[in-house]
Amino acid sequence: MKRVFAVVLLAVLVTSALGIDHSVSASQSGDQRRAEQQRTAVANDLAGMQQGTTASLERKDGTKFDVVIQEITADNVTVLRQIRDQVTSETIPISDIARVKKKSLKKMGTASKVLIVTAVTLGVLFVAALATCSVAPANAPASTDAHSDELDGPSKMKLTASPSR
């Protein structure tokens, strides 16, 4: 019994002397501190956003997706996201978000810019072609008036021809 008591006492003294208990609690508080810092960073990023903002969101499990912010509360974010062909509303706890970044529409790729310029150019050409076609009938009424005179001509002749009898 004395021997067991001596071993337990020695283990307690060694543990307290080496600070093993403090290192375990320090690592736990370090994890909590990192989690709180990350939550604060996400909350600060969300503070600059409002309803309707387009953002890129990354969860702590590594999944990334684009969302439209619906509502931001102290603990949750309600977003719209597209899953396959359906748009769904999802409430995500802020503690589950690793990163959130506002998407800028100004930072488009070169291919997107080229496609937009091409579409605008084709639209302008199409409108110009329509305008040219609509101007062409303005010259045509002169020829249709000539035809209407020809049609009215014989009827006038009949009218003028009948009183002369």
Mean per-residue pLDDT for 19-33? Answer: 65
The CA–CA distances, whole Å, from 141 to 135, 147, 151 equal 11, 10, 15
Q: What is the pTM of this model?
A: 0.47
Which token pair is 109? 């790729």
Note the pLDDT tens digit of each residue in 100-146.
998 876 666 666 667 777 877 887 888 888 888 877 555 555 554 44
Distance, CA of 48 to CA of 71 (rounded, Å): 13
| pLDDT at res. 137 | 56
| Topology adopted by domain 2-102 | SH3 type barrels. (2.30.30)
Is 54 exposed, middle or buried, given 0-12, 13-18 or 19+ CB atoms closer than 10 A?
middle
User: Rounded to 5 degrees, what are φ and ψ at 6?
Assistant: -65, -40
How far is CA 25 from its chain centroid?
A: 43
Q: Are 64 and 48 contacting, i.e. CB atoms less than 8 angstroms apart?
A: no
Share of the chain above pLDDT 90, in %: 12
